[in-house]
Structure 1
Amino acid sequence: MLQTIYSSKNYRWFVFAAIGLGSITHVIHVGSISIALPTIAREFNVSLTTIQWVVLAESLTLSAMLLPMGRLSDIIGRKPMYLSGITLFGLMALLSGSSPWIAHKYGFSYPILLMIPFRILQGVGAALTQANGMAMVTSTFSAKERGKSLGAHGSIIGAGGIIGPILGGVLVTYLSWHWIFWINLPLCTMTFLGILFLLDSSRFARSDQRDKKYDWIGATLSSSALLIFLLTLSNGGNFGWSSPPIIVGFLVFIGSIFSFIWWESKSSSPMLDLSLFSSRGFSIGVGSNFLSFLGVHSFRFLITFYLQAALRLTPAQISLVLIPNAISRIILGPLSGNFSDKFGTKLFTTIGLFLAGCGLLLMSFMTDKTPIWYVIFSILVMSSGSSLFISPNSAAIFSSAKGNKYGVTSALVNLSRNSGNVTGIAIATAIVSGTMLSSGFSSNVEEVMTSSTGSPVLLTFISGMQTVFVLMAGLQFLSSLAHLTTRRPNIVGY
C-alpha cells in the first residue's frame, strides 16, 4: 500500500497534504490565541506588557531555534526532526492549557508564569516542524511547480487563518480559553501519523551535508543574538529606552551579530551560508519578508483588543470580522504563485507590499466610532496585498538556493517571518504602552476593556494603535519601493 503511494505520480501531493495538516494546525493555534488574549489577560488580571508573553514565549523560541534546527535537519534528516517537533508541540499545548490547574495543585500563585515555560517548549516543537515543512514541500515539487506549490501552501495557511479565529471565538465564548490549547492534541496526532506513514523516509534522509559537523558555535551566537534583541525590544517600555539594561542589551546584540558573521565566514561547515546574501534579490526577499510580517502581526495583536474594547464585539463576532483576512490568502495565494511562475515575481511583490501599506494606513484612521464596514475593508486591503506578496517572494528566495541548502533556506524564510511576528508584537506593545504611560494611564488590559466609549483611557489606547499602523504602513511602502527599484532577475518559471 505504502509503496503504491510512494511510486504514485501524485506522490508530491500526498507529501503536501501531510505537511499541510501540520502547517494548518499551527496557524489555527496562532489564530485562536489572538482571539483569546483579551480573555486570558482579564482572567489573570495582567497588563498588556505581560500578556504579550503568552505569544512571545513561543514566538521568541521559534525564531531563535529555526536557523539551528534547519541546519541540523540538513545533517540528521527532515522526517525524524519533524516528527519530534509535532510531538513536542502537541504535548506542550496540552500542558499550557492546563497550567491554571497545575499551578493550583503545586501551589504556584501566578499561573501565567507556569504557562510561559510550556510555551517556550512549544516553540521548540514549532521550530522543528517549520524548519522542515517548507523544505520538504520544495524538494518534492519540480522547479516549474514551485510557485504553484507555495501558493497552494498559502491557501492552507489562509484556511487556517479562517478556522483559527472562528474556532477560537467559539471555544472562548461557549467553553473556555483552555480549549484553544487542548484542541491541538488531536490535530498533532493526525499530523504525526500522516508524516510517519505517507512520507518516504529514503526521500527525506540526510542530505550531502551529513558528513559535515554541526556548527554549534554559530547556532549559539545566532540564537543568542536574536533572543537578546527581542528581549531587549520587548522590555524597552518596562525599563525605559535610555536605561542601562536596554542600552547594554542592544550593544550585546550588535556584538553578537558581528561575532556570528565573523565566525560563519571562517567556519568550514557554517550553519548559514553567507554567500546566499551575495544575491541582492535574496537579501531583499528575506528583508521584505521580515517587514511584511512585522506589519501583519502588529495588526493581529492589537486588532482584537481594539474590536473588543472600542467596538464592543464578542470573541465570536471578532472571529467573523477577521475572516476576510484569511479568505484573501486562500484566493490570492495560489493565484499569485501561479501567475508569478508565468510572468515573474517582481510585479506581484511590488504591488502586494504597496497594497499592504495602504491597508495599514487606512487602519490608522480607525477610532472608537469607526463603522465596522470600514474596519473590514481596511483589513481586506492589507490582507490582499500580503497575500499577493508572500508566495512569489518565497519562490524567488528558494530559487537562489541549492537543494542541499533547502533546510537552512526554509528555516531562514520562516525565521524572517517569525522574527517579524515577534518584533511586530514587541513594537506594538512598546508604542501603545508608552503612549498610555506618558498620558498618565497604566497599560492594564482590564482598565482598557472596561472603559466606556470616548473615555480618555480608551482614546489613548487607540492613539497608540494609530501610531503603530502609520509606522508599519511606511515600512511596507519602503519595502515595495526596494522591490520596484532593485535590479534583479525577474524570475519566471525557474
Structure 2
Amino acid sequence: MQSSGSRGWAGLVFISIAVSLIIVDSTIVNVAIPAIVDDLGITSTQVQWVQEAYTLVFASLLLIFGSLADRFGRRRIMLIGVVLFVLSSVAAALAPTGDLLIAARLVQGVGGAMILPTTLSLINATFRGRERGIAFAVWGSTIGGMAAVGPLLGGWLTTAFSWRWAFGINIPLGILIIIGVLLTVSESRDAHAKSIDIVGGLLSFVTFGALVFGMIEGRTLGWWESTGDFTLGEWTWPFALSPVPIALTVAVLAAVAFVAWGLRRERAGRSSLLSFGLFRIGTFRSGNIAALVVSLGEFGIILSLPLWLQFVLGFDALQTGLILLALAVGSFFASGAAGAASGRIPAVWVVRAGLIAEIIGVLWVAFVIAPDAAWGWLVPALFIYGFGVGLATAQLTGVILVDVPVEQSGQGSGTQSTARQVGSALGIAILGTVLFTSTAGVLTSSLNDQGVPAAQVDQVVSQVVDSAGGAIAGLEESPDTAPLADAAKTAFSDGTRWAAFTAAGFLAVGLVATLALPARRPDDDVDAPTSAASPPAAP
C-alpha cells in the first residue's frame, strides 16, 4: 500500500475544513433561529424553510455536481462552490426579510452541493487501504463534531453580537479553505467522463424539490383539502384540492421518469446522472439504503432542541450552544475510536454500535424533556448521542464507497451524499411537522380543559405554533396570560418529546437496515480499484 504522504494529509485538513464550512452553517442556524424569529418576525413554516431551502437545493444538486466534478475536476468544482457559498453567506447576513434570507439559503445550498461530494471523491482518489479508512473516519467525525460546534459558535455569535454574524463567520473560513486547497490538494478528474445528463439532473431536482415541499407544507396547506393560502407573487392557489398531494404525485412521477431515463441512457451506452451499475455493488446498494433511513433521525432532533431550550427553559443562545457542546465532545471521542477501529474491526459493527448509542441518547433526551427539566441530565444523553453520530457517520461512508471504482468516485460520493441529504431533509420536515402538530394538539386540548373561549384558544395556539414557540415569553409576561404560557410550555415540551421519539424510531429502522451490510474489514482490497465497466456483483 503506497502512503499518501504529508501533502495528502495536509490536504485532508483543508478538505475537512471545507466540510466544516457547510456542516457548521447547516447547524449554526438552529441556535440563531429564535433571534431571527424576533428580528425578522418569521413564522414556524418559514423557520422550517430557512433550514429546508438549504437542504432542499443541497440534496437536489448533489448528483449533478458529483458528475460534473468527475468531468471538469473535483478540486475546481469544490473551489467554485466555496466562493459561491461565501458570497451567499454575505447575502444571508444582510437579509432584511425572511423571504430574502430563505432565497440566500437556496443559493448557499448550491454552493454546499458543489463542496460535499467533491470532498469525498478527493479523499477516495487520494488515499488507499487503511489510510483511506482513517481519512474517512476524520471526514465523518468532522461532520459529527461540527454539527455540535455549530450551535456553540452560533450561540456565542448571536448572544455577543447578532445572528447575522452566524453567516458572516463563513467569510474567513472560505478564504482559508481556498488558499489551503490550492496549496495542498491535487486536481482529480475522470479522463473518460462522458456527456452530462442534463435531463436526469432536471428530473432529480423536480423529484427532491416536490417531495420536500409536500412534506413541509402539508401541515399548513393541508394534506388533501386546502386549509391555507398558497401564493406565488400575485397569484393565489384557486382550488379546493391542496397543492400538497399534487406535489407528492409529481415527486413520484419524476422519480419513476428519472430511473427510466437513466436506464435508457445506459442501455444506449451513454452516461446517466446516476450510474445504476453501481447498485450492483452490494455494499453500495445496501449502504445507501441504510444511510437514507439513518439520516431521517440523525440530525432532525437538532431542529427542535434549541427552540425548546430557549423558549421553554429560558436559556440564551450561548447557553444553548454550551449544552449542545456535549454532542461535539462525544463525536470527537468517537473520532479516536473510529480511527483505531479502522481496518481492524468490520466497519459495519462500528456503524451498528454507533446507531445503538444514538438510539440510547435520543431516548434519554426524550425522557428528560419537561417544562421544568434540569439541563444537567441532558449533557450525558447528548454526549452518548454525539458519540454514536461520530461512529456511525464515519464508518458508514467507508462501507458505501469501499468497492466503488476511483473513476466513478464522484458519482458514488454524490449518490451517498444525496441519500444522506434526502434523509436529512425528510427528517427535518417530518420531525418539524411532528413538533408543531403535536404542540398544537396538546395546547388546544389543554386550553379547552381550562375553559378558555374557543376564539382565544385558536389565537393562542396560532401565536405559539406560528412563532415556533417564540410567543411563550410574551404570554408569560402578563399575569392574565401566565397560565396560558404554562400550558404552552408543557405542549411545546410534549411536541419536542414526540419529535425525539420519532427520531429514535427512524434510527432503529436504520439499525435494522444495516443487517444487509456484510461484516468484513474494508482494508487492502481497495488498493486495486475495480474496473468501472465491471463492478463486482452483489453478494
1:213 corresponds to which of 195, 202, 208: 195
Corresponding residue number in structure 2 for 1:444: 466
Alpha-carbon distance in 1 for matches of 2:502, 2:103:
32
- Once the two structures are overlaid, the 10-residue window that deviates more, 443-452 or 133-142, is 443-452
Corresponding residue number in structure 1 for 2:499: 468
Q: Check whether the contact 1:154–1:330 (CA below 8 A) recurs between aligned residues.
A: no
Alignment of 1:316-335 (within 5 A): 316-335=318-337
Q: Structure 2: where are the runs of 5+ without partners?
A: 226-240, 445-457, 477-481, 526-539
Letter of the 1:237 counterpart: R
Letter of the 2:207 counterpart: A
Is 1:391 matched with 2:394? yes
Letter of the 2:284 counterpart: F
Is 1:480 matched with 2:511? yes
Q: Check whether the contact 1:60–1:422 (CA below 8 A) recurs between aligned residues.
A: yes
Q: Structure 1: where are the runs of 5+ without partners?
A: 1-6, 101-110
Deviation of residue 296 (structure 1)?
2.5
Q: Check whether the contact 2:347–2:519 (CA below 8 A) recurs between aligned residues.
A: no
Alpha-carbon distance in 1 for matches of 2:147, 2:181:
22
Deviation of residue 222 (structure 1)?
1.0
Larger radius of gyration: 2
Deviation of residue 237 (structure 1)?
0.3
Is 1:49 matched with 2:79? no
Corresponding residue number in structure 2 for 1:353: 355
Deviation of residue 8 (structure 1)?
8.4
Deviation of residue 319 (structure 1)?
0.9
Alpha-carbon distance in 2 for matches of 1:182, 1:474:
36
Corresponding residue number in structure 2 for 1:108: none
Alpha-carbon distance in 2 for matches of 1:255, 1:293:
24
Q: 1:8 to 1:394 in 2, by over 3 A?
A: closer
Alignment of 1:162-311 (within 5 A): 162-201=148-187, 204=188, 206-210=189-193, 212-243=194-225, 244=241, 245-267=243-265, 268-311=270-313
Report the TM-score when normalising by structure 2: 0.84
Deviation of residue 320 (structure 1)?
0.8
The secondary structure found in structure 2 opposite 1:455 is helix
- Once the two structures are overlaid, the 10-residue window that deviates more, 143-152 or 91-100, is 143-152
Is 1:92 matched with 2:92? no
Output the aligned Cα RMSD.
2.0
Q: 1:433 to 1:10 in 2, by over 3 A?
A: same
Q: 1:472 to 1:28 in 2, by over 3 A?
A: closer
Q: 1:232 to 1:332 in 2, by over 3 A?
A: same
2:27 corresponds to which of 11, 21, 31: 31
Alpha-carbon distance in 2 for matches of 1:8, 1:401:
19
Letter of the 1:67 counterpart: L
Deviation of residue 450 (structure 1)?
4.1
Alpha-carbon distance in 2 for matches of 1:176, 1:35:
12
Q: 1:196 to 1:79 in 2, by over 3 A?
A: same
Alpha-carbon distance in 1 for matches of 2:506, 2:152:
30
Q: Check whether the contact 1:62–1:418 (CA below 8 A) recurs between aligned residues.
A: yes
Alpha-carbon distance in 2 for matches of 1:79, 1:237:
41
Corresponding residue number in structure 1 for 2:490: 459
Q: 1:425 to 1:164 in 2, by over 3 A?
A: same
Is 1:120 matched with 2:120? no
Q: Check whether the contact 2:312–2:492 (CA below 8 A) recurs between aligned residues.
A: no
Deviation of residue 477 (structure 1)?
1.4
Q: 1:449 to 1:219 in 2, by over 3 A?
A: farther
Deviation of residue 262 (structure 1)?
0.8
Letter of the 1:444 counterpart: D
Alpha-carbon distance in 2 for matches of 1:75, 1:181:
31
Q: Deviations over 1:411-466 (max 9, x none)?
A: 12222222222222211221222223442412122223545497122222222222
Letter of the 2:521 counterpart: I
Q: 1:8 to 1:468 in 2, by over 3 A?
A: closer
- Once the two structures are overlaid, the 10-residue window that deviates more, 190-199 or 444-453, is 444-453
Deviation of residue 489 (structure 1)?
4.8
The secondary structure found in structure 1 opposite 2:372 is coil
Q: Check whether the contact 2:432–2:499 (CA below 8 A) recurs between aligned residues.
A: no
Letter of the 2:338 counterpart: S
Alpha-carbon distance in 1 for matches of 2:165, 2:126:
35
The secondary structure found in structure 2 opposite 1:341 is coil
Alpha-carbon distance in 2 for matches of 1:405, 1:338:
28
Moved over 6 A (4+): none
Corresponding residue number in structure 2 for 1:83: 79
Letter of the 2:41 counterpart: N
Q: Check whether the contact 2:298–2:507 (CA below 8 A) recurs between aligned residues.
A: no
Alpha-carbon distance in 2 for matches of 1:253, 1:481:
27
Q: Deviations over 1:369-390 (max 9, x none)?
A: 2211221122122222222211
The secondary structure found in structure 1 opposite 2:344 is helix
Q: Check whether the contact 1:99–1:112 (CA below 8 A) recurs between aligned residues.
A: yes
Q: Deviations over 1:81-126 (max 9, x none)?
A: 11111000001101110112xxxxxxxxxx1111222211111111
Alpha-carbon distance in 1 for matches of 2:125, 2:67:
15
Alpha-carbon distance in 1 for matches of 2:304, 2:312:
12
Q: Deviations over 1:316-344 (max 9, x none)?
A: 11111011101121121342244142111
Deviation of residue 280 (structure 1)?
4.1
Letter of the 1:221 counterpart: L
- Once the two structures are overlaid, the 10-residue window that deviates more, 247-256 or 83-92, is 247-256
Q: Deviations over 1:185-210 (max 9, x none)?
A: 11111111112232233xx1x31333
The secondary structure found in structure 2 opposite 1:213 is coil
Alignment of 1:149-160 (within 5 A): 149-160=135-146
Q: Check whether the contact 2:4–2:126 (CA below 8 A) recurs between aligned residues.
A: no
Share of identical aligned residues, percent? 24
Q: Deviations over 1:56-83 (max 9, x none)?
A: 1111111111111101111111121111
1:143 corresponds to which of 126, 129, 140: 129
Whose helix fraction is larger, Structure 1's or Structure 2's?
Answer: 1
Q: 1:163 to 1:474 in 2, by over 3 A?
A: closer
Deviation of residue 37 (structure 1)?
0.7
Deviation of residue 164 (structure 1)?
2.3
Alpha-carbon distance in 2 for matches of 1:129, 1:44:
29
Deviation of residue 394 (structure 1)?
0.6
Letter of the 1:213 counterpart: S
